[in-house]
Structure 1
């Protein structure tokens, strides 16, 4: 055991200072450390959790990567793609775990009381309904495996509320061929099999999901023609730009791959702003904790000036004495860190199981504060806190070099 660590442990485990002010300052410092750990863990956990959940929602509803014709314009209506046997229904890229065909057609939903523009998204029997089940609030996802074209659809809760619809309700949609001038509108009657909620307005305000064969008939396509593809990566944290490049290399010049972050750039920008807020909060809390620990160390040094003089007289050099007080200051942090970890993990587990803190989904895209909790994150928060504090505390410990043994013993 080193000389510095031995003495710092003896001081830390020894009788507390008789100075009421220094004891109070130490308690305040420990509380500050505890609050800092709580804020750091809660901020990181909820911040990472929000980013993961929002990205997962985007991907589960719209795919990590979307393939569409290169010639497509900004219209909501899909152009046709012939089903490519070389990568559908099995995409030849290890990072991709699933691919599904889609086609979209804009139309107007009409009831006796109201009408509004919506987007009909056709999907086939290869659609990953397990990913979509998390969004279902009522009913079920239709089965499109039958040979017959299905008239069942899934609508958002917001659309259902706007038109006073519910499970088993029927409604009429009006479609127009945008490529033909003065074309007659086409009417289709649909039945609601399920109602979904994503809390993302870009989806809930617009999308109705149904049989892709409805779009094929409306566009007079063959059964081997679709509007595009949605690809799902195995890892939600994968670099979508790199993955997008790999997909583009496979699909050819006449098609283009876009990532979910490309399509929904505004949501990606919001997530980046949220990440910046997390950094600012952590930085401010670190400054507060460091200031408190520096104040504690200075008080400890001034209070134990006589002891510093004795140690120097006995042959201890400045660096050894500095390490004693830095170790002691870090030793003081430990109770605050322990309390902070227990409280923070308790709060996060409570939020994870009971969803105590609710959020307005129109602002945050989620209805409750999400939690991402890993022991690795807890470990690194604590280790970094100790290391940063120890390094920073070396600066005020330089005061020890200015304490003369003769003067310190005379004062003592």
Structure 2
């Protein structure tokens, strides 16, 4: 029974650790990727823009877009301009930010956000009146693809500007700060409203091949944008989200520590009970000339061998569960609280192997001290005890 309990504790420790690490790291990666796929891993803006929703014209002095694209870590770039406005129906209205995109818009990347309709083609020839609304805005205004919507944009000392758009599609990022505000449309509309020239842009979204390279590539990009522009990482744009997902690191560390303590305590109990049950055998081995170190090695190795079935069972169950979640996504989350609608899974082989090897190694180290109980056993008393 004690061997079964020991194996069960190891299996549970592996399962909980695998689920914690894979879902925790998966959530961090999924939220960062979704955020970056919408606003770019790094954005370049004019210093005049500050925190305004109405983007200022990006300065061309010192700006080397070609040099940015040629950086090995950069996947692609897209230009944009933004302006704030109001969408109005007969029953309701919503404050929005029109993000105007140009012909370099990465429609394939954006396709992962689409839940209805299609992504329009933006050619910068004339004015494309098709827009993409977020699922949140569409539901609030009771709109669907092919519907029309009136947008109102205000300018200082001028009459409001009205635009009628056709809804081409509906997107959903599950990130509240984005879904509550942004609609995607033609950059030429923003240029007209903002009195920009035909080639002016309000900013550049830079997409990287690997989001983990964001901090490393940032200084290189800063050198290529000119002193009148500034670069902003996606993680700096939404710091409240980053602060929230960083809590995962604390949770992961705490849960793994608790599981490790439980596993080690149970394995030490198994060792101690084995020593008590085999007191006579220890006495016989000592009588035959075995040293305390040799006997300790036998018991430690045997205890670790007892752990192996628990490690295998825990990995099979844990990885099986995670693979099913990754394929089918049957465990759902509230995106308003977690920024994702299903529990994401990151099956990183390094972490998966590290958990099993780490638990085995730490358990082996923890067994050294209690195994010294063997040295206290007298051969004469052990045989007499039998």
**Do both proteins adopt the same fold according to a TM-score greater than 0.5, normalized to the shorter chain?**
yes
Match of 1:237 in 2: 212
Residue-by-residue CA offset, 1:246-298 (whole Å, 9 max, x unaligned): 21112121111111111111111111112211111111011111110011111
Q: Aligned partners of 2:30 and 2:349: how far apart in 1? A: 19
Match of 2:37 in 1: 60
Moved more, 142-151 or 100-109: 142-151
Q: Aligned partners of 1:73 and 1:352: how far apart in 2? A: 40
Match of 1:42 in 2: 19
Residue-by-residue CA offset, 1:278-330 (whole Å, 9 max, x unaligned): 11111101111111001111100111111111112222211111111111110
- Whether the 8 Å CA contact 1:32–1:292 is kept in 2: the answer is yes
Q: Aligned partners of 1:375 and 1:233: how far apart in 2? A: 23
Q: Aligned partners of 1:88 and 1:137: how far apart in 2? A: 34
- Whether the 8 Å CA contact 1:78–1:227 is kept in 2: the answer is yes
- The reply to whether residue 359 of structure 1 matches residue 333 of structure 2 is yes
Give the TM-score taking structure 2 as reference length: 0.97
Q: Aligned partners of 1:132 and 1:89: how far apart in 2? A: 24
Cα shift at 1:89: 8.9
SS at match of 2:65: coil
Match of 1:97 in 2: 75
SS at match of 1:256: strand
Q: Which sections of structure 2, spanning at least 5 residues, go unmatched?
A: none
The structure-2 alpha-carbon separation of the partners of 1:258 and 1:89, relative to structure 1 and needing over 3 Å to count, comes to same
The structure-2 alpha-carbon separation of the partners of 1:90 and 1:140, relative to structure 1 and needing over 3 Å to count, comes to farther
Q: How does 1:116-265 map to 2 (within 5 A)?
A: 116-145=94-123, 147-177=125-155, 180=156, 182-238=157-213, 240-265=214-239
- The reply to whether residue 109 of structure 1 matches residue 87 of structure 2 is yes
Cα shift at 1:384: 1.1
- Whether the 8 Å CA contact 1:103–1:121 is kept in 2: the answer is yes
The structure-2 alpha-carbon separation of the partners of 1:169 and 1:83, relative to structure 1 and needing over 3 Å to count, comes to farther
Q: Which sections of structure 1, spanning at least 5 residues, go unmatched?
A: 1-23
- Whether the 8 Å CA contact 2:126–2:188 is kept in 1: the answer is no
Cα shift at 1:146: 5.6
Q: Aligned partners of 2:188 and 2:337: how far apart in 1? A: 36
- Whether the 8 Å CA contact 1:83–1:225 is kept in 2: the answer is no
Match of 2:265 in 1: 291
Aligned length in residues: 385
Match of 2:305 in 1: 331
RMSD: 1.4
Q: Aligned partners of 2:351 and 2:218: how far apart in 1? A: 29
The structure-2 alpha-carbon separation of the partners of 1:146 and 1:215, relative to structure 1 and needing over 3 Å to count, comes to closer
Q: Aligned partners of 1:109 and 1:53: how far apart in 2? A: 30
Q: Alignment partner for residue 251 of structure 2, among 247, 253, 277?
A: 277
Match of 1:311 in 2: 285
- Whether the 8 Å CA contact 1:120–1:208 is kept in 2: the answer is yes
Give the TM-score taking structure 1 as reference length: 0.91
Moved more, 245-254 or 296-305: 245-254
- Whether the 8 Å CA contact 1:83–1:226 is kept in 2: the answer is no
The structure-2 alpha-carbon separation of the partners of 1:113 and 1:89, relative to structure 1 and needing over 3 Å to count, comes to farther
Match of 2:343 in 1: 369
- Whether the 8 Å CA contact 1:82–1:224 is kept in 2: the answer is no
Q: Aligned partners of 2:238 and 2:373: how far apart in 1? A: 55
Q: Alignment partner for residue 400 of structure 1, among 356, 374, 383?
A: 374
Cα shift at 1:183: 2.0
Q: Aligned partners of 1:242 and 1:350: how far apart in 2? A: 35
Match of 1:5 in 2: none
Moved more, 306-315 or 372-381: 372-381
Q: Aligned partners of 1:235 and 1:204: how far apart in 2? A: 24
Q: Aligned partners of 1:261 and 1:90: how far apart in 2? A: 20
